[in-house]
Chain A
Amino acid sequence: MTQATDETRLRALTPQVLAVLVSRGADFAAAEDATQDALLQALHTWPHDPPRDHKAWLITVAWHKFLDATRADTARRRREDRHDEQPTPGPTTSTDDTLQLYFLCAHPTLTPASAVALTLRAVGGLTTRQIAQAYLVPEATMAQRISRAKRTISDTRLDQPGDVATVLRTLYLVFNEGYSGDIDLAAEAIRLTRQLDTAIDHPEVDGLLALMLLHHARRPARTTPDGNLIPLARQDRARWDTTLITEGIHTLQRALAQDRLGEFQAQAAIAALHADAPTAADTDWRQIVEWYDELAGLTDNPVVRLNRAVAVGEAEGPRAGLAALGELDETLPRYTAVAAYLHERDGEVETAAKLYMEAAEKAPNLAERGHLTREAARLNGVLRGDVDA
Chain B
Amino acid sequence: MAKYLLLKHYRGAPTAPNEAPMETWTQDEFDAHIAYMDDWADRLKKTGEYAGGLALAPEGTFVRYDGEGRPPVTDGPFAETKDLIAGWSIIDVDTYDRALELAAELSAAPGKNGKPIHEWLEIRPLLTEPPTITG
Contact = CB atoms under 8 A, between A and B. Distances in A.
Interface of A: 111-114, 117, 135-138, 140-142, 144-146, 148, 175-180, 186, 211, 215-216, 219, 229, 267, 270, 303, 307, 310, 334, 363-369
Given A141-B49, A141-B50, A144-B46, A229 B130 contact: yes
A366 B127 contact: yes
Contacts of A117: 48
Contact of A144 (B1, B47, B133, B134): B47
Given A111-B94, A136-B3, A178 B131 contact: yes
A141 B128 contact: no
A310 B135 CA distance: 10
B51 interface: yes
B80 interface: no
Contacts of A180: 129
A223 B49 CA distance: 31
Per DSSP, chain A at the interface is helix
A364 B127 contact: yes
Contact of B51 (A141, A216, A303, A369): A141
B45 A141 contact: yes
8 contacts: A113-B94, A114-B48, A145-B47, A145-B48, A177-B131, A307-B134, A364-B128, A367-B130
Contact of B127 (A135, A186, A303, A363): A363
B130 A137 contact: no
Nearest to A292: B135
Interface pairs A-B: 3 shortest CB-CB: A145-B48, A367-B130, A144-B48
A175 B51 CA distance: 22
Interface string B1-33: 101000000000000000000000000000000
Contacts of B129: 177-180, 365, 367
Contact of A112 (B50, B94, B131): B94
A334 B134 contact: yes
Interface of B: 1, 3, 45-52, 92, 94, 125, 127-135
Nearest to A310: B135
Contact of B52 (A111, A138, A219): A138
Contact of A365 (B1, B48, B94, B128): B128
Nearest to A116: B1
Contacts of B48: 114, 117, 137, 141-142, 144-146, 148
A298 to B, nearest CB: 16
Given A141-B45, A148-B48, A215-B132, 12 more contacts: A112-B1, A113-B92, A136-B3, A137-B50, A140-B45, A141-B48, A141-B92, A144-B47, A178-B132, A216-B132, A267-B133, A307-B135
Nearest to A364: B128
A366 to B, nearest CB: 5
A135 B49 CA distance: 12
A177 B47 CA distance: 21
A137 B128 contact: no
A148 B125 CA distance: 25
A310 B1 CA distance: 27
B47 A178 contact: no
Nearest to B130: A367
Contacts of B50: 137-138, 141
B51 A137 contact: yes
A43 to B, nearest CB: 25
Contacts of A113: 1, 92, 94
Contacts of B131: 176-178, 365
A179 B94 CA distance: 20
A12 to B, nearest CB: 22
